[in-house]
Amino acid sequence: MHKPALLKEVLEYLNPSPGKNLIDCTFGFGGHTLEILKKTKPDGKVLGIEQDKEIFEKFDHKKRLTLVNDNFNNLKQIVKEYEFNRVDGILYDLGVSSWHFDQSNRGFSFQVSKRSEPLNMSLSGDDLTAEEILNQWPEQELIRIFKEYGEEKFPGRIARVICEERKKHQIKTTKQLVEIISRVVPKKYQYKRIHCATHIFQALRIAVNDELNKLKESLPQALEILEKNGRLVVISFHSLEDRIVKNFFREAAKEGKLEILTKKPIIPSLEEIKLNSRSRSAKLRCAKKI
Ligand SMILES: C[S@@+](CC[C@H](N)C(=O)[O-])C[C@H]1O[C@@H](n2cnc3c(N)ncnc32)[C@H](O)[C@@H]1O
């Protein structure tokens, strides 16, 4: 379902050992958690948080594993409610899983040669969807999110054509959206290393799930609940997330609250990228609470 990214490195930096308690803020399919549970035998515990109900319902609680269907921006509240004390390590493996792209049928993937999907993109199942954003948000707002969340080269042109198209018919599927983007982006930019729809799809997903704000809200809570010497490990998949983590670590280190253990982000080996191409943009940062 999902190959955990940078697994060896996560274990090295998170340093789980018998009796330790850790939080996996992005449980997904439990790839990281499973290995952490092995290392914390016989009595260490994991609290796994997963906001996607459909994924959450695929798993059962285990003796040493508590699962919570929630957003990690409620971290402090969750820890209190489940009385999960003495937290030795916290992991974030941000973004979505391979299952979201390949099987959720929620429009995360722009690979429309395989199939077209409804433009949903919600992880929580809340009301806001990519379809609503595309068909109802003002042009200026579309331009803003394409720029801010997608770092898109042609935000104005794409937003303008979306607004023209939606007057004729609602934009409901990934195929429609990819066709619009392919029509607008100049041909010479279409055959670069990444697909010309990558940035718009990223921007919509971030906007639908308010991903950057949730991360900004969660990191200070993680720092607060960690024990002294506890480890905070974050894997990000694009520069916007990585910047938030880097700046948060830097500020907390300046204030004497954290020691940064990764001067530069850790990236996957060529061997891992060969086995799991989706790990190619992963960056891991780790800090220790002082
Ligand atoms: C990259 S996957 C994690 C994969 C997991 N480490 C594994 O090995 O199976 C990220 C997961 O985190 C969930 N997620 C993303 N943002 C979240 C948030 N703010 N709160 C809780 N879960 C979140 C997604 O639904 C997704 O299942």
Averaged pLDDT, 193-200: 89
- Centre of ligand 1 from the C-alpha of residue 184, in Å: 32
Q: Are 74 and 23 in contact (CB under 8 A)?
A: no
Atom 5 of ligand 1, residue of closest alpha carbon: 28
Whether the model clears a pTM of 0.85, i.e. scores above it, the answer is yes
pLDDT at 113: 74
**Mean pLDDT (the chain, rounded):** 95
**Rg for the chain (alpha carbons), in Å?**
20
Q: How confident is the model at residue 118 (pLDDT cuts 50, 70, 90)?
A: very high
Least confident of 64-73, 127-136, 180-189, 194-203: 180-189
Report pLDDT for 58.
Answer: 93
Task: Give the pair of three-digit tokens for residue 115.
Answer: 């199939």
Q: Could you give the C-alpha distances from 55 to 1, 223, 236, in angstroms and in order?
A: 11, 27, 20
Q: Class of 108-207 per CATH?
A: mainly alpha
CA distance 285 to 265: 5
Q: What's the 71 CA to ligand 1 centre distance in angstroms?
A: 9
Answer whether residue 1 shows pLDDT above 70: no
| Mean pLDDT, residues 179-186 taken together | 93
pLDDT, residue 20, reads 98
* Ligand 1: centre distance to CA 256 (Å): 29
**Closest ligand 1 atom to 72 CA:** 20
Better pLDDT: 173 or 278: 173
Residue 203 has pLDDT above 90, yes or no: yes
| 66 φψ region: left (φ > 0), alpha (ψ -120 to 50), beta (else) | beta
pLDDT higher than 90, residue 22: yes
Of all protein residues, whose CA lies closest to atom 20 belonging to ligand 1? 71
Residue from 97, 235, 236 to probe ligand 1 pocket by mutation (most atoms less than 8 Å from CB): 97
> Which range, of 108-117, 176-185, 260-269, averages the lowest pLDDT?
108-117
Q: Does the pLDDT at position 128 exceed 90?
A: yes
| CATH code that applies to domain 7-98+211-289 | 3.40.50.150
**Would the pLDDT of 24 be above 70?**
yes
Region 131-147: what's the mean pLDDT? 98
Mean local confidence (pLDDT), 240-260: 98
How far apart CA 135 and CA 166 sit, in angstroms, is: 6
Burial letters for 185-213: b for 16+ Cβ neighbours within 10 Å, e otherwise? Answer: beeeeeeeeebbbbbbbbbbbbbbbbbbe
Q: Where are the domains of the chain?
A: 7-98+211-289, 108-207
Q: How confident is the model at residue 188 (pLDDT cuts 50, 70, 90)?
A: confident
Of the residues 3, 51, 104, 124, which should be mutated to test ligand 1's pocket, given the most ligand atoms within 8 Å of the CB? 51
Return the best residue to mutate from 6, 24, 27 for the ligand 1 pocket (most ligand atoms within 8 A of CB). Answer: 27
The string of DSSP codes covering 70-123 is: S-GGGHHHHHHHTT--SEEEEEEE-S--HHHHHHS-SS----TTT---BS---S
22, 25, 26, best to mutate for ligand 1 pocket (most atoms within 8 Å of CB): 26
The band of 61, judged by pLDDT with boundaries at 50, 70 and 90, is confident
Q: What residue ranges line ligand 1, CB within 6 angstroms?
A: 2, 4, 26, 28-32, 49-52, 55, 71-72, 93, 95-97, 123, 214
Which amino acid residue places its CA nearest to atom 15 of ligand 1?
95
